[in-house]
Each structure stands twice: as C-alpha cells, then as structure tokens.
Amino acid sequence: MSSKRDTYRATSKHTAILNAATEVFLKSGYLGANMDDIAKSSGVSKQTVYAHFQSKKDLFVEVVGRITDDASSMVHDSAQASDRDDDIAEYLLSYAIRQLTVVLTPRIMQLRRLVIGEVGRFPELAKVLYERGPQRTMKALAGVFERFSKKGRLNVGNSIVAASAFNWLVMADPLNRAMLLGDNAIPDADELRRHAAEGVRIFLAAYGRS
Amino acid sequence: MSSKRDTYRATSKHTAILNAATEVFLKSGYLGANMDDIAKSSGVSKQTVYAHFQSKKDLFVEVVGRITDDASSMVHDSAQASDRDDDIAEYLLSYAIRQLTVVLTPRIMQLRRLVIGEVGRFPELAKVLYERGPQRTMKALAGVFERFSKKGRLNVGNSIVAASAFNWLVMADPLNRAMLLGDNAIPDADELRRHAAEGVRIFLAAYGRS
DNA sequence: ACAAAGTACTGGACTGTATAGTTTATTTCA
DNA sequence: TGAAATAAACTATACAGTCCAGTACTTTGT
C-alpha cells in the first residue's frame, strides 16, 4: 500500500518487474508462476522483487489490475462520437466492430481466462474485471441509447436491458468461442464484420423505429 | 487406458475416488488440488488412487470429462417437444428458462471456471466442453428453427446463426455475470423469467413471421 | 467346503523436486 | 558514506509419485 516511492527506489525496475510478471502470470497462471522466474526475467534480483512488492499475491493483484485498466481504457478511449445524426445502423456497426477488434486479442482473452480461473482465490479481481469490462461498456451504450431514444430514433424501454442485449448479441459468440477454443478461434476481420452486421440487424429489428 | 476391470478392482472405490476428486478439483483447481487430500477424502489409501488412475493429470481429465457429460445430458435430456404447433413464443420461452435453470448452477459455473482456467494446460478439455455445451445446444436449436422455418412460422436464413443469436441473447448476460461475480450473482427464478422473455421478444422481432 | 494362490488395499515412510520468502555478505552508485 | 541492489545460500514447506511390509478379499482347483 502507501507509496512505492518512500525513498528513491527505481521506477524503471518497478515497471520491469511488473512487465515480466505480467508475461509470466499470463503464461503460467497464478500457482504455476514462480518468483525466481519473474526475478530472472525482470533482470533483477529476487530480493529487489520483494523490495517492490510484498508478496506474490500483491504482485499478482497489481499485475491484473494494470492490464485490466489498460484494456478498459483501450476499449473506451477511441471514439465516443455518439450524438452524430448519422445512420444509426452505421454507428452501431462501427461500435460493434471496434469493440470486437479490441477485446478479441490473445492478451485480453488470456487475462479473462486467468481471472476466471482465480475467481475462488481472488474474487475482487474478477469483480473489477466485470465492472471495467462488460459493465462499463453497457453503461456507456445505455447512455447513447437513451439519447437516441429521446430523439425518437430508437425505441428503447429500459436502456440497460437494451445495452446488454446489443453488447452480447455482438460479443457473446466470438468471446465464448475464443475463451474455450483458444486464440485460433478468433475470427478474422471479415467474419467479424459479418457477425457484427447481423447483431445490428437483430437489435434494430427489436429496438429500431422505422 | 484399456480397462479398469482387468481383474476385480472394486468399482465402489473407483467411483469414491472420482467423487472425492471432483469435489477437490472443483474447489481448489488443478494445481491447487492435492493427491493426499483426494485419497483421504475418498477414504482410500494413496496407493489405491494410483492403482485406479495413472496420474493426477489422468484423474483430472476423467473428472472433468464425467461432469461435462453429466451436465450436457442434463441440459439435453429433458424435453424435445419441438414439433408441437403451439405458440412459438411459448415454446422458446420455456426452452430458454429450462436452459438457464440447468446451466446456472454453482457446480456447472465452477466447472466452466475450472476448465477455462486450464485452457493452456488442457486445451482438449475446453474443446470438449464447448462441443457438449454451447455447440450442442446451438445445433439442436438450429434443427428446431429449420423445421419451424419450413412450416413458415419463422423466417430464418442461416439457422445456425439464428440459433447462436437466440442462445446468447438468453444465456450470455447471466452466464458472464455469474462467471465473474460468483454464485451470488445467479439470478432468481423471477429475474430469469423476465430476462428470458425479453430474449424471446428480441429474437422474434428479428426472425418472427407475423 | 477348503486351502492355496493371487489380487486389492492399507498405512506410512521415503525420494526428489519445487518454490515462497529470508538472510547475509558484497557491490554499485549517487 | 549510505541507501539500493545483487548473488547465492538458506529455511521451511508442500507435494507428486514410489516403495514396502503386512492385511483382507476373491478366485480357483480339489
């Protein structure tokens, strides 16, 4: 806790450790990872690792927290051009494709697997991943839908319900396939686009106004 | 391999070991589980465990395979009353509720977490889980949809695409919540019914014929 | 029926290895 | 000179898998 900068402990080593630990944990899981490996692969002595992080658990929590944050902002940074009066179908399609493209990467898939496998040991991490992942996405979408709805361009009762429907219409199938079948099951850009388009079509059939 | 019944090795102990191992693996994960615990909790000596199963890996594979099979048949055994000329909405709703009720149990959720966490070490198990889970469901649904479609009561292009859409409209949100937020996030029967109804509504808006 | 022979099982000690975290003596560098 | 870092040895524990000596059960031949 408190501050890692109590004295002049090198920032570069701190991040070197975090980076190495990230790779090791992603590859081997929490129990499978080993602190000697992490130290060696950070180019740092084991003692230094323990100078920067109190324990394996602490290190793991920081690692997962950091990737989760990074991934979350990657998803939500680009584009928020919500209010444009363009074709709604167009808007939803590009939203869907961006979402799919960002989330369906080996790294984020592996993070999900890791966190899900450790729900028992680290329930907090999974909760945070849910909040910064699906939940954050759905809240953002719900806001957009409400605005569209007020302009009479969408017919949405409960905007959160609609957002969840849209989100999972788009994400669920490829996400679940990739989770269980591995990175080879990640669809290519073409398939992604077709899948996203069908999701948009279904959504607009249920919530559209025209 | 070959046969466990080469001689008169007791079936009761075999299943006692499997049952105990199931609990231990579900609770602690693959690496977290420990063969002494499994032996003790089977009421059997460690030597006997190794007489019935060659190694921890073998035992794990059998355990996961067995729960997967059980779960899969639980989902697919009850009801296949497809061709009845009832209300389609009614049919879909009951299908959805049954599916949700069977899958959203702590045991099956924990199995999914376990298998997902071990995709790296045991990719085959995850593949089998996918095939006997979502894939099997979607194939069955696709068959039903095609029949409805031929009778002109549904307007489905690619039946697999439609089946996937329906399946995930119904399953994705509660499944993902429960995966990450734990068993407390499993919705009660009322919530389940409302969620299923909205899924059916969306699906019929896109694929219905009326 | 009965005994001999083989098979299953037990309990516990044992081997070998892995690994989280600590300690110590030494070196680097500001 | 003094904090930060290093390397390497060390502690303590955990655990997969094996070995062994002895007990109990099942089968088979008579």
In terms of domains, do A72 and A121 share one? yes
- Minimal CA separation from B177 to chain A, in Å: 8
B83 has pLDDT over 60: no
Helix axes of B159-181 and B189-207: crossing angle, nearest 10 degrees? 150
Of B126, B169, B176, the CB nearest to A180: B126
Q: Which nucleotide has the shortest C1'-to-CA distance from A10? A: D4
Footprint of strand C on the protein (CB under 7 A): A 32-36, 46-47, 50, 55-57; B 6-10, 13, 43-48, 51-52
In terms of domains, do A118 and A64 share one? yes
In terms of domains, do A66 and A121 share one? yes
Q: Indicate yes or no: CB of A119 within 8 angstroms of CB of B182.
A: yes
B4 has pLDDT over 90: no
> Cβ contacts (< 8 Å) between A96 and chain B: which residues?
none
Q: What is the mean pLDDT of chain A?
A: 91
CATH code, B31: 1.10.10.60
Of B119, B171, B206, the CB nearest to A182: B119
pLDDT digits (tens, 9 = 90+) for A75-97: 887 655 555 657 899 999 999 99
Mean pLDDT of A5-9: 49
Instruction: State if pTM tops 0.85.
Output: yes
B13 has pLDDT over 50: yes
- B48 CA to D23 C1' in angstroms comes to 15
In terms of domains, do A193 and A114 share one? yes
Q: Which nucleotides of D are covered by protein (CB under 7 A)?
A: 3-9, 14-21, 26-27
In terms of domains, do B48 and B108 share one? no
In terms of domains, do A110 and A159 share one? yes
- B125 CA to C6 C1' in angstroms comes to 38
Q: What is the mean pLDDT of chain B?
A: 91
In terms of domains, do A43 and A63 share one? no
pLDDT of residue A202: 98
Nearby residues of B87 by Cβ (< 8 Å), 6 or more positions away: none
B105 has pLDDT over 90: yes
Tokens of A3: 């501050």
Helix axes of B159-181 and A123-130: crossing angle, nearest 10 degrees? 130
Domain total in chain A: 2
In terms of domains, do A186 and A114 share one? yes
CATH code, B175: 1.10.357.10
Helices (H), A118-188: 123-130, 136-150, 159-181
Nearby residues of A59 by Cβ (< 8 Å), 6 or more positions away: A17, A21, A38, A49, A53
* A to B CB pairs, distance under 8 Å: 112
In terms of domains, do A64 and A100 share one? yes
pLDDT of residue B87: 87
- A18 CA to C16 C1' in angstroms comes to 32
Q: Indicate yes or no: CB of B130 within 8 angstroms of CB of A173.
A: no
In terms of domains, do B62 and B150 share one? yes
pLDDT of residue A209: 85
pLDDT of residue A9: 62
- Residues B51-66 as b/e (b if ≥16 CB within 10 A, e otherwise) read ebbeebeebbbbbbee
**Domain containing B38: what range?**
1-53
